[in-house]
Amino acid sequence: MRTHVIARKTHKWLGLFIGLQVVVWSLSGVYMTVVHIDTIHGDHLVREASSHGIDAGDLQDPLALAAREEATGIRLAWVDERPIYVTEGPSGERAFAATSAALLEPPNEQAIRALASSYYTGSEPIASAELITKVPGEIRGRAPPLWRVEFDHWNRPTFYLSPATGELLSRRHELWRVFDFVWMLHIMDYDERENVNNLLLRAFTWGAVLMALSGVWLLIYAFPKRKKKTGRAR
């Protein structure tokens, strides 16, 4: 079999197997570059936190509180314009007033709705608020339960709040969901959508390289060879 036939068949079959994924890479790459990453992150959906300050003398000793509660960790947070201590222990997070060390009750649905509205930059009303015990794939890595609050907007802004403190833990929206889908197609990790060095992606990447090289190989035969001029016989 002549080499130009081998080049043509190699390019054709690689194009059939690899070409569709190359198109997917191109289209998904266009979306990920056209939509600004800050928009994807949902920064425009959340109000900028106001600066807080409090005299250290007004705060209870966090180490004493952690020892009292046998906590494995403790941190200071601001929720609803007030400082709170959040302890971490075997039973999860618990909230305490930072100025009195008094245990705070977990926020109910009414309080969660008020907090979510205070975080949100838009004026749309809340479409739904529910305490979920099964974490959806869009916030994988978070531990349930969580409050899920969705606003009545075409982009479906969705806030996930802590059931213990009411803190905003994550936000999602339709443009992010589209990004997550095209990212999955782009890196070819159809399960966790995180592994950018998986075997399938590497195989198709090398296949695309071979397809390009076979195209160059085929291009060589696209130009007619110039015949050598022979001198006239004397």
What would the pLDDT profile of 75-114 be if each residue is shown by its tens digit?
999 999 899 999 999 889 999 999 999 999 999 999 999 9
pLDDT of residue 231: 54
Answer whether residue 166 is part of any domain.
yes
Domain boundary residue among 133, 154, 172?
172
Answer yes or no: is 66 within a domain: yes
- Is residue 70 located within the same domain as residue 105? yes
Would you say residue 52 has pLDDT above 80?
no
pLDDT value at residue 45:
97
* 230 in any annotated domain: no
- Asked if 109 and 163 sit in the same domain, the reply is yes
**Residue 141 falls inside a structural domain:** yes
Q: With bands split at pLDDT 50, 70 and 90, how would you rate the model's confidence at 1?
A: low
- pLDDT tens for 135-154 read 999 998 899 999 999 999 99
The reported pLDDT for the residue numbered 105 is: 96
Number of domains in the chain: 2
For the cut 90, the answer to whether the pLDDT of residue 66 exceeds it is yes
Considering the chain, what percentage of its residues have pLDDT values greater than 70? Answer: 92
Q: Is residue 231 one of the residues assigned to a domain?
A: no
Of 78, 45, 47, nearest in space to 158 by CA: 45
- Assess whether pLDDT exceeds 80 at residue 130: yes
* 232 found inside a domain: no
Distances from the Cα of 81 to the Cαs of 40, 50, 52, 134, in angstroms?
Answer: 27, 9, 8, 30
- Give backbone dihedrals phi and psi of 116, rounded to 5 degrees, phi first: -60, -40
Give every strand in the sheet of 92-97, ordered side by side: 73-79, 82-89, 92-97
pLDDT band of 222, cuts 50, 70, 90: low
Task: Give the separation between CA 197 and CA 155, rounded to whole angstroms.
Answer: 31
Quote the distance between the C-alpha of residue 4 and its chain's center.
46
Confidence (pLDDT) at 216? 77
Q: What is the pLDDT averaged over residues 3-7?
A: 70
Determine the average pLDDT of the residues in 53-72: 93
In percent, how much of the chain has pLDDT > 90?
68
Does residue 126 sit in the same domain as residue 30?
Answer: no
- Give the model's confidence band at 190: pLDDT under 50 very low, under 70 low, under 90 confident, else very high: very high
pLDDT score at 214? 75
- Asked if residue 72 and residue 164 are part of one domain, the reply reads yes
48 forms beta bridges with: none
Same-domain status, 166 and 209: no
Do 209 and 168 fall into the same domain?
A: no
Residues 115 and 65 in one domain: yes
Do 73 and 94 have their domain in common? yes
Say whether 118 sits in a helix, a strand or coil. Answer: helix
Mean pLDDT in the chain? Answer: 89
pLDDT tops 80 at residue 227: no
Q: Could you write out the three-class secondary structure of 13-57?
A: HHHHHHHHHHHHHHHHHHHHHHCCHHHHHCHHHECCCCCCCCCHH
- With respect to residue 234, please indicate whether it lies within any of the assigned structural domains: no
Based on the domain organization, do 184 and 140 belong to the same domain?
no
72 shares its domain with 17: no
Domain that holds residue 159: 43-47+56-172
Residue 123: is it exposed, middle or buried by C-beta count within 10 angstroms (0-12/13-18/19+)?
A: exposed
pLDDT at res. 217: 73
Instruction: Supply the pTM of this predicted model.
Output: 0.84
Q: Is residue 30 part of a domain?
A: yes
Q: Same structural domain for residues 151 and 207? A: no
